Structure 1
Amino acid sequence: MRDIPEDLVARIESGAARLCHAWIVTRAGGERLGFTDHDRALEVDGVVCSPSEGWGVGASEAEVGGVAGTATAEGAAGEGFDPAAFDGASVDLWRVDWSEPALKAPLWAGSLARLTLADGKVTVELEGSAAKLDRAVGRTYGRACDAEFRDARCGVASDAFPGMSCDKRWRTCVDAFGNGANFRGFPHVPGDDFIAAVPVEGGRHDGGRR
């Protein structure tokens, strides 16, 4: 739930609010930078936010039902703009009354996922904190091989078996490429048929079939 100051709510409801956006970017080293789409500098959350002509909030997707929220911002890149300087940065987006910047409401918080620079235009892609839950950590257990054909984990030489591809099945790895020792899957993991299996009435139940 957003914490919106009562004075700001009253101004918005009365139509007296003078609203703009402000971005607070915290670099990996802790340095905080501020930007705003207003036409003059504003101090927001203790950071002076510089006016960035041409910058604005792009599309956004809220975090609903555990889905990782995303947002974008777009604008012109100034001279000497270095995308690498923002690697690992976190971003807080505020809605601010520019006539009294202390009146502000948080709109979005997350991290910088990708920054694209093309033809003097910057597109910043942001992702919410729930995005970390979508990332695979470690390996997953599955019957198919999870190596890429001919990569270091696969072990098949790059010039071997020209014109052939691999469907990542155990039998293909063994029979077609003789590469079973490097198979990166788990072909004997029980499948859905095992999970759904139930005892058959009148049958022999000594575990011998498993």
Structure 2
Amino acid sequence: MRALPEGLDAGRLCQAWIVTRTDGVKLGFTDHDRDLVVDGVVCRAGGGWSPGATETAVGYAPGQGAALGVLDADGVTEEDLTAGLYDGARVAALRVDWSAPSRLVRLWTARIAAVSREGEAFTATLAGPLAELERVAGRTFTRLCDARLGDERCGISPAADAACDKRWATCVGVFANGVNFRGFPTAPGEDFLTLYPVEGERNDGGRR
């Protein structure tokens, strides 16, 4: 449990949350019975934002949580949710002395990983800072092409009814686009380690 800084009275504390959207706009919410100005942001009472279930991080696990809310013309709007302005938004949770909001303690920060809606209500899934360690970086080593048909890496303009199964043979035989193939067609498969030479067989790796 985090110790309260000197001067904070547990009997005068409330919760506050500050959401920083991807466009830089900040919105504040509090469970106090009146609005508070925290870190220069007006945190609205009854603004339709409350914490949901949380999962504490263990070791290098990112930890997850949720925030529950309702659409509000002065807060989280349907238009902004649809526009994706809350995707990746930063959420800071604080404990604040409601009699002097400049006295506060920061509890945690997270980012909104996903938002789901049901009618006028929404649920924001929160991921802690360590979730960044689970992001996949770089390319996947596979025999199949990892480009999308027709994108910049693929480099062709296919007909409307064209289809690609990501294989080297298709790229060369159907699209004559082997120079832009984004896979590793000669990579051995998982059964490569169990194979052995057989007399009379062609062992050049072409079937792996």
Supply the distance in 1 between the matched residues of 2:102 and 2:3 (Cα, whole angstroms): 11
Supply the distance in 1 between the matched residues of 2:161 and 2:58 (Cα, whole angstroms): 48
- Shift in Å, 1:94: 1.9
Tell me the equivalent position of 1:157: 158
Check the 8 A contact 2:62/2:128 in 1, yes or no. yes
State the AA in 1 paired with 2:143. R
- Shift in Å, 1:67: 2.9
Give the 3-state SS of the residue equivalent to 1:49 in structure 2: strand
- Asked if 1:4 corresponds to 2:3, the answer is yes
User: How far does the alpha carbon of each residue in 1:97-146 deviate from its partner, in whole angstroms, 9 at most, with x for none?
Assistant: 65665665433202334445653323333322223233333433333221
Supply the distance in 1 between the matched residues of 2:177 and 2:40 (Cα, whole angstroms): 60
State the AA in 1 paired with 2:184. F
User: How far does the alpha carbon of each residue in 1:56-97 deviate from its partner, in whole angstroms, 9 at most, with x for none?
Assistant: 102333333333333221212222635256566422112446
Change (3 A) 1:88 1:189: same
Tell me the equivalent position of 2:181: 183
Give the 3-state SS of the residue equivalent to 1:141 in structure 2: coil
Supply the distance in 2 between the matched residues of 1:31 and 1:58 (Cα, whole angstroms): 23
TM-score calculated relative to the size of structure 2: 0.63
TM-score calculated relative to the size of structure 1: 0.63
Change (3 A) 1:34 1:160: closer
Give the 3-state SS of the residue equivalent to 1:22 in structure 2: strand
Check the 8 A contact 1:156/1:179 in 2, yes or no. no
Give the 3-state SS of the residue equivalent to 1:131 in structure 2: helix
- Asked if 1:72 corresponds to 2:66, the answer is yes
Change (3 A) 1:112 1:185: same
State the AA in 2 paired with 1:180. G
Tell me the equivalent position of 2:146: 146
Supply the distance in 2 between the matched residues of 1:53 and 1:26 (Cα, whole angstroms): 15
Tell me the equivalent position of 2:127: 127
Check the 8 A contact 2:48/2:72 in 1, yes or no. no
- Shift in Å, 1:185: 0.5
Percent identity of paired positions between Structure 1 and Structure 2? 44
Check the 8 A contact 1:4/1:105 in 2, yes or no. no
State the AA in 1 paired with 2:36. L
Change (3 A) 1:157 1:74: same
Supply the distance in 2 between the matched residues of 1:98 and 1:127 (Cα, whole angstroms): 27
Give unpaired runs (5+ residues) of structure 2.
195-203
State the AA in 1 paired with 2:158. A
- Shift in Å, 1:35: 0.9
Give the 3-state SS of the residue equivalent to 1:130 in structure 2: helix
Give the 3-state SS of the residue equivalent to 2:92 in structure 1: strand
State the AA in 2 paired with 1:4. A
Supply the distance in 2 between the matched residues of 1:144 and 1:158 (Cα, whole angstroms): 21
Deviates more, 1:177-186 or 1:80-89: 80-89
Supply the distance in 2 between the matched residues of 1:52 and 1:158 (Cα, whole angstroms): 54
What is the alpha-carbon root mean square deviation over aligned residues?
4.1
